[in-house]
Amino acid sequence: MIRINENYLKLTSSYLFVEIARRVADFQKQNPGKEIIRLGIGDVTRPLPKACVEAFARGVAEMGEAEGFRGYGPEQGYAFLREQIAEADYKSRGVDIDADEIFISDGSKCDTGNIQELFAGDISVAVPDPVYPVYVDTNVMAGRSAAFADGRYGGFVYLEGNRNNGFVPSPPSGRADLIYLCFPNNPTGAVATKAQLKEWVDYARAHRALILFDAAYEAFITDKSVPRSIYEIEGAKDAAIEFRSFSKTAGFTGTRCAFTVIPKTCEAFDKEGNGHSLHGLWNRRHSTKFNGVSYPVQRAAEAVYVGDGPSQVREIIDYYMANAGLILEKMTKLGYNCTGGVNAPYIWIECGSDSWTFFDMLLNRAGVVCTPGAGFGRRGEGFIRISAFNSRENVEKALRKIEESI
Ligand code: MLT
């Protein structure tokens, strides 16, 4: 008899953004012709930067020529991209990360989901609440939780985020072995200071724990004092893995390219307490289960760093951040408490009611899709998230419609 992994039965309904898409599709069916503006899932709308498109096309053309054709590439990514990343994202900012500590992949969602495979089943997992649901769901699938009850899975250490701590939780007093942090934060848009991240790095080192630091929104940081990488914190190279993505930075959500940084000094431990290199284990996993990102896509990603690429990328980010500014300004003016929108493309809004009810109200009255905070955890109840990823015209129209409907 073929048996299932019963941990999947513990999962609550569907993945958050699938559930939202289902509700929006239902609404559209019942209201054909009604305009819907999507400020829910953080999916980019601006076209790829021209430099990336040109590099992409050159890569495709090379693949069509006998001299340029390539078969399987290195699973870890081509050196040309890894070296650019090491230089532009790390060394030029005073952070010592080598090209071979960078693993190119097809997405940070996949990497943050897959990485937990390296760890024992009985470790204690700490997740913020509210939280990007992938960290939670993938650990439920792996059997690290008990049943779901009252808005939470048993067995996880939930790190409470609220207005008092600015949605930047402090380390717990008890044990946490694997710690998920995301800054700039999805969903709240909050950022952590160096001092706050240092507390986490110190905790992780003292407890031989590991931080999984999701920095997918790093490019949206405008405040120069805010750290862009966990490795800006002394000691982090021994205790943290960092995830970054071209998805939001350069419009690659449909093109797929990201990377994970695993410093060679970063270790996890066996039962006897002997340290093992996570770099080596991930390399083993990656080369066994992954065949690399396609050559033209890696050439397109490389273009983010060279020639006109950086300024074109900056222009796209500035465009979305101007949207974020408009959303933040309007929602604040309408009397809502808001977080984010300054160093992040998400605005987290205390909506004053049940968040799915507010979601339905906005959809029905304004035709605007947001993300209900409750989908990010128990502490997300009473909030919604509005994403800045859409055209200026649609954001302005959505804000007018919101104002008219509340
Ligand atoms: C979001 O809306 O939270 C993001 O699009 C999720 C993701 O990047 O997977």
Claim to verify: residue 184 and residue 73 sit in the same structural domain: yes
Q: Is the CB of 380 under 6 A from ligand 1?
A: no
In this prediction, residue 27 carries a pLDDT of 95
Q: Is the CB of 21 under 6 A from ligand 1?
A: no
* Domain boundaries, position 204: 53-302
In this prediction, residue 14 carries a pLDDT of 76
Claim to verify: residue 328 and residue 298 sit in the same structural domain: no
Q: For ligand 1, atom 4, which residue shows the shortest CA distance? A: 42
Distance 108 CA to ligand 1 centre (A): 10
Give per-residue pLDDT as tens, 321-367: 999 999 999 999 999 999 999 999 999 999 988 999 999 999 999 99
Claim to verify: residue 374 and residue 329 sit in the same structural domain: yes
Distance 43 CA to ligand 1 centre (A): 7
User: Is residue 184 a part of any domain in this protein?
Assistant: yes
Q: What gap in Å lies between CA 107 and CA 252, rounded to an integer?
A: 9
Q: Is the CB of 296 under 6 A from ligand 1?
A: no
User: Is residue 63 a part of any domain in this protein?
Assistant: yes
Q: For ligand 1, atom 5, which residue shows the shortest CA distance? A: 42
Distance 371 CA to ligand 1 centre (A): 10
CATH code for the domain of 251 = 3.40.640.10
Claim to verify: residue 267 and residue 186 sit in the same structural domain: yes
Q: Is the CB of 109 under 6 A from ligand 1?
A: yes
Please choose from 41, 105, 376 the residue to mutate so as to test ligand 1's pocket, defined by most ligand atoms within 8 A of CB. 41
pLDDT band for position 382 (50/70/90)? Answer: very high
Q: What is the atom index within ligand 1 of the atom nearest the CA of 216? A: 8
Residue 169 gets which letter from DSSP? P
The separation between CA 326 and the C-alpha centre of its own chain, rounded to angstroms, equals 23
In this prediction, residue 65 carries a pLDDT of 98
Distance 63 CA to ligand 1 centre (A): 31
Claim to verify: residue 158 and residue 37 sit in the same structural domain: no
Q: For ligand 1, atom 1, which residue shows the shortest CA distance? A: 42
In this prediction, residue 135 carries a pLDDT of 97
In this prediction, residue 194 carries a pLDDT of 98
pLDDT band for position 15 (50/70/90)? Answer: confident
User: Is residue 118 a part of any domain in this protein?
Assistant: yes
Res. 160: pLDDT tops 90: yes
Claim to verify: residue 83 and residue 159 sit in the same structural domain: yes
Residue 87 gets which letter from DSSP? I
Helix (H) or strand (E) holding 360: helix 355-361
Please, what is the average pLDDT of the chain?
A: 97
Higher pLDDT, 12 or 7: 7
Please list, in sequence order, all residues whose beta carbon lies within 8 angstroms of the beta carbon of residue 317, skipping any fewer than 6 positions away.
Answer: 219, 220, 249
Domain boundary among 278, 302, 326: 302
Distance 317 CA to ligand 1 centre (A): 16
Give per-residue pLDDT as tens, 295-320: 999 999 999 999 999 999 999 999 99
User: Is residue 372 a part of any domain in this protein?
Assistant: yes
Q: Is the CB of 42 under 6 A from ligand 1?
A: yes
CATH code for the domain of 382 = 3.90.1150.10
In this prediction, residue 77 carries a pLDDT of 98
State both tokens at 314: 């900056």
Domain boundary among 302, 320, 343: 302
State both tokens at 117: 């495979």
Claim to verify: residue 93 and residue 35 sit in the same structural domain: no
Give per-residue pLDDT as tens, 222-236: 999 999 999 999 999
In this prediction, residue 216 carries a pLDDT of 98
Give per-residue pLDDT as tens, 109-150: 999 999 999 999 999 999 999 999 999 999 999 999 999 998
Higher pLDDT, 192 or 352: 192
Q: What gap in Å lies between CA 235 and CA 62, rounded to an integer?
A: 42
- Phi/psi at 372 (5° precision): -70, 130
In this prediction, residue 58 carries a pLDDT of 98
User: Is residue 221 a part of any domain in this protein?
Assistant: yes
pLDDT band for position 161 (50/70/90)? Answer: very high
Alpha-carbon dihedral 29, 30, 34, 39, rounded to 10 degrees? -70
State both tokens at 267: 């270790």
- Could you give the number of structural domains in the chain? 2
Claim to verify: residue 273 and residue 229 sit in the same structural domain: yes
Distance 298 CA to ligand 1 centre (A): 21
User: Is residue 1 a part of any domain in this protein?
Assistant: no
Q: What is the atom index within ligand 1 of the atom nearest the CA of 40? A: 2
Distance 133 CA to ligand 1 centre (A): 9
Please choose from 17, 348, 359 the residue to mutate so as to test ligand 1's pocket, defined by most ligand atoms within 8 A of CB. 17
Claim to verify: residue 42 and residue 69 sit in the same structural domain: no
In this prediction, residue 100 carries a pLDDT of 98
Distance 272 CA to ligand 1 centre (A): 38
Q: DSSP secondary structure string, 212-244? A: EEE-TTGGG---TTS-SSGGGSTTGGGTEEEEE
Claim to verify: residue 220 and residue 331 sit in the same structural domain: no
User: Is residue 211 a part of any domain in this protein?
Assistant: yes
Q: What is the atom index within ligand 1 of the atom nearest the CA of 187? A: 3
pLDDT band for position 387 (50/70/90)? Answer: very high
Claim to verify: residue 115 and residue 139 sit in the same structural domain: yes
Q: What gap in Å lies between CA 226 and CA 119, rounded to an integer?
A: 30
Res. 406: pLDDT tops 90: no
Please choose from 186, 220, 252, 346 the residue to mutate so as to test ligand 1's pocket, defined by most ligand atoms within 8 A of CB. 186
Q: Is the CB of 186 under 6 A from ligand 1?
A: yes
Domain boundary among 302, 328, 357: 302
Q: Is the CB of 185 under 6 A from ligand 1?
A: no
Distance 252 CA to ligand 1 centre (A): 12
State both tokens at 217: 């929104």
Claim to verify: residue 287 and residue 324 sit in the same structural domain: no
